[in-house]
Structure 1
Amino acid sequence: MSSEYRCPLEDLLIIDFETTCEENVFDHPVEIIQIGVVVLNIKDKVIREDVVFNKLVKPVVNPILSQHCIELTGIQQDSVDKADTFSVVYQQFLDWLKEHNLDERKFAFVCDGRQDMWRLAQYQFLLIKENFPAIFRQWINMNKIFQDVAKEKYLSIAGRSNLQKMSNFFEIEFDGHAHNAIDDVKFLAKVTKKILDTGRFVNVNETLNCISGWRNVPENVDPNWKLDMHKTHKVIARVLPLASVKRRRAYDPAEDYGICLFCKKSTIDTCVGGVHKQYPADLYSQIKEPFDFATVAGLKRD
């Protein structure tokens, strides 16, 4: 075991968003209803149990939670009714970072995939008509690292979700309610620590770009795209302004924070995700039925 963790950051912030959802409805204008964050300190090699952020968020577009959402997350309607809206909770989160001296240029977020930043956070800021913040531009996709650790065993590991597979592979028991943000991040923090304990190098491996080469290739939209989650996400990947891409060069916190790998500009500067630089006019022309995800966020041009 290495005496020091192989990570160029001071802290890792394991984060998860829970959102509104409808059972088997994939063209859904998702809104964040819970933010959960725990901190793993790299120098001390500990999960900071005294530094936790866990807030519910009041949805605005669809204020009434579906029964499916309530059962999936364990979040009750009266709880979100009493919560603050996203803009308020996001400011509370920024204040929490300052309170605990967590410098955004010295930490990185850890997620169990790309969905939290690429789809959920990006869409939420579009809904509130705010520029996408630099703080969410880059992250560690722990599932990608997990796949590399598990290698050929990955596909045969039991489990429907990334976290279930991690639990079975690392023999780490999941405590709490799956799909509840704070329970998810507490578990993912244990997985992250387990991987770091082996001497594995952990660094930012995904970011958001304004341009991505694969989006230049025309997409033939399946007529039944709304009935399949993966097909819906393929469409959504075209209509969201910023695209998730794999980093091919090692992330340097001092130089790369908030920077788009394509235009080399930052979310502090002009690359803020407000303008779609690869607007998918051809894709929209193929979609004849209502497209709620795009319409509610104003993504489709008149």
Structure 2
Amino acid sequence: MTSDYRCPFDNLLIVDLEATCDKDNFDYPPEIIQISVRVLNTREKVIREDLSFDKLIRPVINPKLTDYCVELTGIDQESIDKADTFPEVYDQFSAWLKEHDFQEKRFAFVCDTRQDMWRLAQYQFLLNKQPLPTIFRQWVNLGYHYEEDRRKAPVQDTWGPSLIEKMSGFYNIPFDGHAHNAKDDCAFLAKITKYLLDNGKLVTINESLKCISGMRNVPFTVDPEWKGNFESACKVFQAILPLVSTPTKRYFVEDYYGKCLYCFDATCTGLEHKQYPAYVYEQLKEPSDLAITAEITFFLFPPLPC
């Protein structure tokens, strides 16, 4: 155990997002319905139990939650109906960051995978027709640390089907609460982050969003049943979402923060698709509800003047 944490940030903000969903339909437009944030102060080496941000968010496009979503997240319809919409909650979150003096470049988000930032946050801001804020364009992906540690382990064990279950079993840290509820997931992920730091891990930005990536230059055959298969759906979304998530092995905050790590342009908003995947759209048996709902193609090809 080291005397100081190996982390260049004063605070790590562990974040988890939950969104609207439907069983066996991964093309269902995901609107964020819950955001939870826990704070790990890396200088004092503590999880701030006195400081957190937890909000439910009322969806607009599909205001009624599916039975599957209610069961998965534990969030009931009555609570959602009373919640504020995403723009209102995001303003509250921005005010919370300012109130507690969380300065850009001095904190980083921590997520369990790429899904929260690459898919959910990016998509929500596309729905709002707004550029993705700088703070969401780079983060710590805990899944990379878990996979690295697991490969080095003398015994390979599956532990469970979900990443949360796998990390809980592998690191021997119990999970308390309702799985897929952002508040409970976030509290657990904060413990995982502290465990890694306590054991000398370097915890810094290891994933970010780019406008162009080499992996998107390689055409692939779309699974005809992609809407019902999560991995197949992610391949489609990787092609059709304007910004793509890529591992980041070396990250220099002063040089890279707020910039697309492909074009290094701070004005790369993510509203224009610089690798438009026409071949993917051509293979779809039916249009993508996710793309149509966010008018992703509209950003790319606005209607011609009459």
TM bucket by the smaller chain? over 0.9
Shift in Å at residue 155 of structure 1? 5.5
Counterpart position of 1:37:
37
SS in 2 for 1:278: coil
Superimposed CA distance per residue, residues 184-239 of structure 1 (whole angstroms, 9 cap, x where no aligned partner): 01000001101100111111000000000111111211222222111011001100
Among candidates 284, 289, 292, match of residue 292 of structure 1 = 289
SS in 2 for 1:53: strand
Partners of 1:57 and 1:163 lie apart in 2 by 23
Partners of 1:93 and 1:155 lie apart in 2 by 40
Superimposed CA distance per residue, residues 245-299 of structure 1 (whole angstroms, 9 cap, x where no aligned partner): 11132x2222221111110112xxx201000000111111111313101110111
Contact 1:9–1:253 under 8 Å retained in 2: no
SS in 1 for 2:140: strand
Counterpart position of 1:213:
214
Superimposed CA distance per residue, residues 91-126 of structure 1 (whole angstroms, 9 cap, x where no aligned partner): 100100011111121110000000000000000000
Structure 1: gaps spanning 5 or more residues: none
Superimposed CA distance per residue, residues 24-60 of structure 1 (whole angstroms, 9 cap, x where no aligned partner): 1111100000000000000000000111000000000
Q: Give the partner amino acid of 2:212.
A: I
CA-based RMSD: 1.2
Structure 2: gaps spanning 5 or more residues: 302-306
Partners of 2:19 and 2:60 lie apart in 1 by 12
Partners of 2:167 and 2:228 lie apart in 1 by 28
Matched, 1:169 2:170: yes
Contact 2:256–2:264 under 8 Å retained in 1: no
Partners of 1:248 and 1:178 lie apart in 2 by 30
SS in 1 for 2:281: helix
Percent identical residues: 55
Partners of 2:43 and 2:158 lie apart in 1 by 32
TM-score (norm 1): 0.96
Contact 2:224–2:285 under 8 Å retained in 1: no
Partners of 2:75 and 2:156 lie apart in 1 by 31
Contact 1:51–1:100 under 8 Å retained in 2: no
SS in 1 for 2:180: coil
Counterpart position of 1:227:
228
Contact 2:210–2:244 under 8 Å retained in 1: yes
SS in 2 for 1:204: coil
Partners of 1:287 and 1:157 lie apart in 2 by 34
TM-score (norm 2): 0.95
SS in 1 for 2:297: coil
Partners of 1:274 and 1:65 lie apart in 2 by 28
Counterpart position of 1:281:
278
Partners of 1:60 and 1:81 lie apart in 2 by 10
Counterpart position of 2:107:
107
Matched, 1:118 2:118: yes
Superimposed CA distance per residue, residues 137-173 of structure 1 (whole angstroms, 9 cap, x where no aligned partner): 0000011011112225486231111111111111111
